[in-house]
Structure 1
């Protein structure tokens, strides 16, 4: 049997193709990479355009399966869609369903999933893939730094979860898993919050000096509540770390200890092996800490050192579509992982991997 999952993220949509026997759970993912930009949430004002947007992705997916008419397609929206109201979401999902049906596939589902479940699905995938190499007794965790949210999901070594806990059956065993999604904490949304913070300090100035961008960087953006502003890079990593730390709202009261960012309860990650995905990997890769096809365990001290080195370079020496986020994200990742209670010098707890 064959099935396709459309992972509808805030910055793009990815198609994942799976096959499995009629009896049993030996799932295989096809070795194809299908992705289009931007995310479907950007079509809130023009859902009719989704058919043309999805067509190239679905056309490529058709080539990866033996019979599209018997292949079920499920589309799941994540944080980008969660930012929209229900009224804005309905026409988008209707258009997605119509596009899937028109493409000749068997439509199965199209809806937005909660952040906690987004983390759980990521954790289950990693559990399934990694347990053969790590063994079933390893306590596994996942960190997913997306465009609009940041998920933290893991099975605590202590087994104690006082909030945001889920009970799962994996193979023949019961698992207790903690999963929390920090909204507006993904790379794109965190950058917007950062720019808003800069604007609040700069009164009516049309130019915002940005320590989280390389010197020589200039880019205009619409800042919430402040209108059109220009970010001008100063490449000050020390100041960048201060400002990204402020985005975590660590001053929020912790009502159920221990807490991580924003006063949110989180059990200690001690003794858990974490896999870092999304912009965590892309940043580490951009900084030269891990190759595209590899997986590498890194400490936050290593991320910080390479981030400082990158931020000090002139923009002309590093300019590219994606490198404009590396200075900011390197500091923000360090702040987040420190808040999650990862020891800064631990070079084994977090593995950065694209897949």
Structure 2
């Protein structure tokens, strides 16, 4: 909105919170809600250095979908360490989600192997032992389609508790309550259905379900992209807090560089199925950049008047120079 609007109206719960010229709303907002909207994605996350052996190693992964004649992943090599976050970033079609499918066993690789806690994972999911399934969980982009609308929150979170640990009755209900407290919702939600939850609450339930398995690693596939900025911010902060408590590792798939800056310890930039830049967050986000990473970084919208005009002018000059 900072790039295309002359005036901005801020709404909350169907009511106008603040209204005025774009410059005033962006630079000198009066209301606390407006200030919160303008300042989102300013999470400060101290980059952690790798410790110990990697929990995940992708070695020379090449993969293609059945019936196609081309590889969608090409010699991908990345590692993820305990208690850390590896952000896999790139445009649509770059291979980010395909890499997640290979790791979870939904798409066996054509070449290469996946090492998890030092042992090689079976390429296809149905052949994997239950312990490997437990240790590697996934949170999806669309919480709506990841939950059965006919099941209560308690049933959804309780399924992995029963499947992996055999918990039943009061013991299971106590653990469900603990998990609801961890995601900052509370036991009052245990008998609610997904239709009674907001988008952010649904995603929190999906996080609790993943944590119920006590995994070593969670794949987060665009988990904030369908949420509004304030709610997404809350989800990122929750994930960081839970990581400190559980020492769980995240493979965080996203196209949003602001999210990467907020949560990543290391970054893999993907383009056309290849990793074109890989390293610690400070290394990847520091110049000199390759052309694609430079393009990604310069395309991250900023809450500044005239940002878009400056970007377009710079690219026009670079194009003329070439």
TM class by smaller structure: under 0.3
TM-score, normalised via structure 1 length: 0.21
> Could you say which structure has the greater relative contact order, defined with CA pairs below 8 angstroms and 6 or more residues apart?
2
TM-score, normalised via structure 2 length: 0.23
